[in-house]
């Protein structure tokens, strides 16, 4: 999510167009999405500590690599006489592949999967606690990173983040990450009070499906398609936020400032959605998420006004908060814990693929139309069709 504040810096310093940078982001991110199912299988086999530590280390290295992208471009140009545009494009593809695969791919997959494996009856409540941090972090990251850039420089900020990952996050993972209660010779939720007298029983999975078996379940695909869409839309929205607000006649500070209210709404819906997921069916959360996606799409299709800004904040806040709920709680709740890594990795590949296509698609629309309204209308149509198509399947579902 933090790539948005670096977009204009990369365009300026690497002499790339917005379309070229967005294309590099798409190619690198799509490439990473093809690897995520295998990363999930690796996680199932070797556990959270090994997979998490490796992803933190390599994410740090890739951030440091991106910090020197301008210097590397100049060096390779002098060495090979290949145009700086081609070299910069290739470096961005490689860099985006690394940060998307090891960052929002593997590190997110491992962290969510580990928490989901530690809880059953209180899984939603655990996800709610985790969601307070992740939702606020994802939504508020652009403001924090912009502050670091203003204090140092855009390239130095990546070095700071890379060193923090290697020397702070990596040791934390090694010390504290454990794959499951069974690995620690404990029982599930040992020592936690279970309210067996409650009339509302937690709705958990009574089965453990493999990835191949889960693929045969029609409802899986509706969850994947709406997650794919919001990953596409929200990443593009964040990636081009400054440009989007420029088409509205607004400033960079006004654009970045939108993330604070979005973050608060996102945290509320992540916390509430995770908590109630213990006692309600996932399809109820699906349709609330659907409403957020619809409002978010509509907000960039309409002419800018104060009311449209409110619609933008509410829609993005709801969808961003509930995306974390759907992408973490759904898989163990519907398909069990035994193959959680493989199923989560498969689902994450859809989300990462969507996030790859989104910025590129938005840049093409802006380049041809001069604004992003067509992207908004396209999102509205997609969401409505998906919602209508899902009704016969999800309404019959018991989950």
At 155, the pLDDT band (50, 70, 90 cuts) reads very high
At 50, the pLDDT band (50, 70, 90 cuts) reads very high
Give the CA diameter of the chain.
Answer: 74
Evaluate whether residue 246 is within a structural domain.
yes
At 374, the pLDDT band (50, 70, 90 cuts) reads very high
Number of structural domains in the chain: 1
Q: At 20, phi and psi to the nearest 5?
A: -65, -45
Evaluate whether residue 187 is within a structural domain.
no
Residues of the domain holding 300:
2-181+209-392
Evaluate whether residue 92 is within a structural domain.
yes
At 195, the pLDDT band (50, 70, 90 cuts) reads low
Burial bucket for residue 57 (CB in 10 Å: 0-12, 13-18, 19+): middle
d(C-alpha 63, C-alpha 3), whole Å: 11
Evaluate whether residue 112 is within a structural domain.
yes
Half-sphere exposure of 99 (CA within 13 A, CB side): 24
Evaluate whether residue 337 is within a structural domain.
yes
Evaluate whether residue 234 is within a structural domain.
yes
Give Cα 313 distance to the centre of its chain.
18
Question: Taking the model in full, what pTM does it have?
Answer: 0.75
pLDDT above 70 (res 201): no
Helix axes 48-67, 154-164, angle to 10 degrees: 160
Q: Is the dihedral of CA 362, 364, 367, 368 positive or negative?
A: negative
**Per-residue pLDDT, 200:** 46
Cα-Cα end-to-end distance for the chain: 31
CATH of the domain at 259: 1.20.1250.20
Asked if 27 and 93 touch (Cβ cutoff 8 Å), the reply is yes
**Average pLDDT over all residues of the chain:** 88
d(C-alpha 195, C-alpha 292), whole Å: 32
Evaluate whether residue 310 is within a structural domain.
yes
**Per-residue pLDDT, 198:** 47
d(C-alpha 380, C-alpha 369), whole Å: 18
pLDDT above 70 (res 203): no
* Stronger pLDDT, 245 or 139, i.e. the higher one: 245
pLDDT tens across 103-118, in order?
878 998 898 888 888 8
Q: At 236, phi and psi to the nearest 5?
A: -65, -40
Angle among Cα 340, 343, 349 to the nearest 5 degrees reads 130
Evaluate whether residue 197 is within a structural domain.
no
């Amino acid at each position: 999510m933090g790539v948005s504040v670096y977009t204009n810096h990369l365009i300026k310093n690497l002499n790339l167009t917005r379309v070229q940078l967005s294309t590099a982001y798409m190619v690198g991110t799509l490439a990473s999405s093809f690897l995520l199912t295998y990363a999930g299988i690796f996680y199932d086999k070797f556990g959270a500590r090994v997979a998490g530590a490796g992803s933190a280390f390599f994410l740090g290295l890739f951030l440091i690599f991106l910090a020197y992208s301008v210097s590397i471009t100049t060096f390779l140009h002098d060495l090979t006489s290949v145009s700086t545009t081609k070299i910069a494009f290739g470096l961005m593809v490689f860099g985006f592949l690394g940060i998307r695969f090891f960052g929002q791919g593997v590190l997110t997959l491992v962290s969510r999967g580990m928490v989901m494996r530690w809880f059953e009856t209180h899984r939603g409540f655990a996800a709610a606690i985790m969601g307070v941090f992740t939702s606020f972090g994802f939504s508020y990251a652009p403001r924090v990173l912009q502050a670091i850039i203003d204090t140092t420089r855009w390239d130095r900020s990546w070095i700071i983040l890379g060193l923090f990952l290697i020397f702070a996050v990596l040791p934390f993972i090694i010390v504290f990450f454990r794959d499951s209660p069974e690995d620690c010779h404990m029982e599930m939720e040992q020592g936690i009070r279970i309210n067996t007298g409650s009339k509302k029983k937690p709705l958990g999975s009574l089965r453990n499906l493999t990835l191949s078996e889960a693929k045969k379940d029609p409802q899986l695909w509706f969850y994947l398609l709406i997650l794919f869409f919001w990953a596409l839309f929200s990443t593009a929205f964040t990636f081009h936020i400054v440009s989007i607000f420029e088409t509205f006649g607004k400033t960079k500070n006004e654009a970045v400032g939108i993330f604070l209210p979005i973050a608060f709404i996102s945290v509320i819906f992540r916390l509430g959605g995770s908590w109630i997921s213990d006692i309600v069916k996932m399809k109820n959360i699906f349709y609330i998420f659907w409403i957020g996606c619809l409002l978010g799409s509509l907000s960039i299709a309409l002419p800018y006004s104060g009311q449209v800004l409110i619609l933008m904040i509410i829609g993005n806040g709801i969808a961003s908060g509930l995306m974390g709920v759907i992408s973490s709680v759904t898989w163990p709740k519907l398909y069990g814990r035994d193959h959680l890594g493989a199923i989560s990795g498969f689902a994450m590949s859809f989300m990462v693929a969507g996030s790859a296509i989104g910025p590129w698609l938005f840049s093409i629309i802006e380049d041809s139309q001069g604004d992003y309204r067509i992207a908004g209308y396209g999102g509205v149509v997609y969401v409505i069709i998906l919602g209508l198509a899902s009704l016969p399947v999800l309404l019959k579902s018991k989950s």
